[in-house]
Amino acid sequence: MEMQKIIHVDMDAFFAAIEVRDNPTLSGKPLIIGALPHERGVVATCSYEARKYGIHSAMSIKEAYRRCPTGIYMHPNFKKYALASEQLHEILASYSDLVEFVALDEGYLDVTGSEHLFGGAEKIGREIKKRIFHTIGTTCSVGIGYCMMAAKMASEENKPNGFYIIPSPEYFQALIIDRPIRVLHGVGNVSGIKFENAGIRTVKDLLYAPPYLIERLGNMASDALYHAKGNDSRKVTVEIERKSVGNEHTFQSDITDIAILEDMLVLIARQVSLRLKFKNFCAKTITLKIKFADMKSITRAISGQTTNSAKNIFQSALTLLHKEILKKPVRLIGISASNLTIEKDDVFEQLSFDSCQNAIKKKRNQKLDETLMNLYRTYGKDSIKTAKEIAAEQHLYSKNKKTL
CB neighbourhood size of 180 (10 A): 15
With beta carbons less than 8 A apart as the criterion, state whether 324 and 289 touch: no
Q: Residue type at 315?
A: Q
Catalytic positions are 106
> How large is the C-alpha radius of gyration of the chain?
24
Give residue 218's region: left, alpha or beta (phi > 0; psi -120 to 50). left
Dihedral over Cα of 109, 107, 166, 178: its sign: negative
Q: Per-residue b/e over 28-45, b at no fewer than 16 CB within 10 Å?
A: eebbbbbbeeeebbebbb
Tell me the residue length of the chain: 404
- DSSP state letters, 181-219: GGGSTT--HHHHHHHHHTT--BHHHHHTS-HHHHHHHTH
Order of strands, sheet of 43-46, starting from the edge strand that comes earlier in the sequence: 43-46, 31-34, 72-74
d(CA 54, CA 394): 40
Q: Is 119 left (phi over 0), alpha (psi -120 to 50) or beta?
A: left
CB burial readout 49-73, b (16+ within 10 A) else e: bbbebebeeebebeebbebbeebbb
Q: Say how far apart CA 402 and CA 404 lie, in whole Å.
A: 5
Burial 240-270 (b: 16+ CB within 10 A, else e): ebeeebbbbeebbeebeeeebbbbbbbbbbb
| Cα 137 to Cα 145: distance, rounded to the nearest angstrom | 26
